[in-house]
A and B are shown apart, each in its own frame.
Chain A
Amino acid sequence: MSLDIDDILAELDRDTTVVDNISSDNFPNANNNRHKLTKDYSLSPNSSLDTTTVPQHNNSSSGKKKVISSIEDFSKLMTLWKNERCSPDLLPYPHLLMKRMLIRIQEQMEHLEILSMNFFEAQGNNSSDNRRNMSNAPVNNNKMLPLLCMEAELERVKFVIRSYLRCRLAKIDKYSIYLRQINEQYLNEEINEENDDDADDDDKENPSSLRISPLEKLLSPEEIRYHQSHFSLLLNLLNESVLKYMPDELQAVNDTEASINMIDEPDYNKFVFIKVKGPPNNLYDTDPLLKKRTHPDIYYYSITIPETKEDIDLIIGSIYIVRYSLIKNLLLDEKIELL
């Protein structure tokens, strides 16, 4: 059920994507190209991912709907990518953002195919065989340049997403038992709550079918499936080669009672470099954690180091190096980013 809702929301996002109308005065050739090659699609060399198939939407008609431009999405993606690579923990999966990016990438690929097919039809009559394309008349280059730029940008976006997903998969592999433990704890809690016959009215309003498990928040459905399948494959391998030869009490793979805990937890005490951004969308007034020094006007967050009982002021715009556990909440609220 929830996945369908996500799909619908993503569709809405796409429909309200803004077209950035960048003046193409600097690219006269591109302008000519646009008129020649494109029929239904707009071509803007600078921000080539801003295509939209519903050009009649604009800000005024969408009224109070939130419009998320692809530039915002892209910078959000970059931040998420950097955060994921630097953090020792698995960060929550951006479901909607990914859906939007996927749609944009697919549209862009189709767009480019159509453009290049048109282009090569035009060029097809005088094409050569193995000669370097660059040695042809330079005029071809100028016409191709926007196409090349768009392709290059598409490759870059694909690379970022690829790196992001692979990083997450690597973390999932590393912490598979730990993730399972989280899931099991959650399921046990659910069972305990269901067994309580004197349920409150609150519980009746939130039936368990609508509650999202922590694993679903953290991982995409594909990642969940990957996690489960990979873990069962690995468990099978370990069972067959090692565990079945062990005595009964040592046959578990998640044994926490032995001298060393078998479940590898992420290292929450790892030191990370952070940059303090401040509240998202610059909502300085509504952030309860944000404090202000009056003389001079400096905004900061305050955290306490439990071991030395020190207070540290994280001033907005500065860079610090702290333990991950101290700043995890701020990171999830998008008030700081990792470097």
Chain B
Amino acid sequence: MGYYDLDDILADSAEIPCKFLHDIPGLGYLENNPGGTIHVNTQLKLPLWLARVLAIIDASSASDDVGNADIFNTEQQFTPFLNMLTPETFTNKVINAIKTDPISLDLHSINPYFYALAIKWIELFSDKDLAEIVSDLLLQRSQVINAHANSTTISYNNNSNSTSSTGNNNTTNNNHALFTLTLDEFEKKIYKEANDSYKDIKKWIYQY
């Protein structure tokens, strides 16, 4: 994914609802209550880059002094600082919508970084079901994307610097533009690359 990858950074900023498992004073500013305490079982929306680490680290192995006998901790289980709950992006409502009609689904409005987020989520929770659903979704949508990318036409002038579709039909252009609005960022990349390569092929075929 890359440390410097802008898409990765933006995907990490997605907000996930979290449930705190401990009382933590001093972190009140996370819920717009500066100086206050966050109590147990508070639900809060935190960005992924923050929630991920806090959900992974074990809060119980806090003591650095090995000398202390842990008589109270003999049966301590792994307890992180908070639990991540399913975000809106992956609720059952969305999953049902995906299953019913993957193609005309407006993925951009659900989350502009749907696929990136899905990959991160699947990695964290080893969620095989979600993985299957999302890969099926991508498979179906990419066929439609391919069809859209292929159907643009170019003018016969070799020197045209067209970077968008230059179809003679205005409604075709509008269709394409509207369609791209429903794509998430990853799909937009795929669409652009497919479109560019189809244009290149046509340019090469018609160059003489």
Within 8 A of B (CB), among A229-285: 259-264
Q: Chain A residue with minimal CB distance to B8?
A: A260
Could you tell me if B3 and A264 are in contact, using CB atoms closer than 8 angstroms? yes
**Residues of chain B contacted by A261 (CB below 8 angstroms):** 3
Task: Kindly state the separation between the CA atoms of A264 and B52 in the bound complex, as whole angstroms.
Answer: 21
Does B49 sit within 8 A of A, measured CB to CB? yes
Does B2 sit within 8 A of A, measured CB to CB? yes
Within 8 A of A (CB), among B53-100: 53
Task: Kindly state the separation between the CA atoms of A261 and B4 in the bound complex, as whole angstroms.
Answer: 10
Task: Kindly state the separation between the CA atoms of A263 and B4 in the bound complex, as whole angstroms.
Answer: 9
Q: How far is the CB of B208 from chain A (nearest CB, A)?
A: 17
Interchain Cβ contacts within 8 Å, total number: 10
Could you tell me if A264 and B2 are in contact, using CB atoms closer than 8 angstroms? yes
Q: Chain B residue with minimal CB distance to A261?
A: B3
Q: Chain B: interface residue count, which band?
A: under 10
Could you tell me if A264 and B49 are in contact, using CB atoms closer than 8 angstroms? no
**Residues of chain A contacted by B53 (CB below 8 angstroms):** 259
Could you tell me if B3 and A259 are in contact, using CB atoms closer than 8 angstroms? no
Q: Chain B residue with minimal CB distance to A262?
A: B3
Task: Kindly state the separation between the CA atoms of A264 and B8 in the bound complex, as whole angstroms.
Answer: 13
Please pick, from A259, A262, A263, the residue contacting B49 in the complex, using a CB distance under 8 A. A259
Within 8 A of A (CB), among B1-27: 2-4
Task: Kindly state the separation between the CA atoms of A260 and B4 in the bound complex, as whole angstroms.
Answer: 10
Q: Chain B residue with minimal CB distance to A263?
A: B3
**Residues of chain B contacted by A259 (CB below 8 angstroms):** 49, 52-53
Q: Chain A residue with minimal CB distance to B50?
A: A259
Which residue among B2, B4, B49 has the maximum number of chain A CB atoms within 10 Å of its CB? B2
- 4 shortest A-B CB distances, which residue pairs? A262-B3, A264-B2, A259-B53, A260-B3
* 5 A-B residue pairs with CB within 8 Å: A259-B49, A261-B3, A263-B3, A264-B3, A264-B4
- Contacts A259-B52, A262-B3 aside, 8 further interface pairs with beta carbons under 8 A come to A259-B49, A259-B53, A260-B3, A261-B3, A263-B3, A264-B2, A264-B3, A264-B4
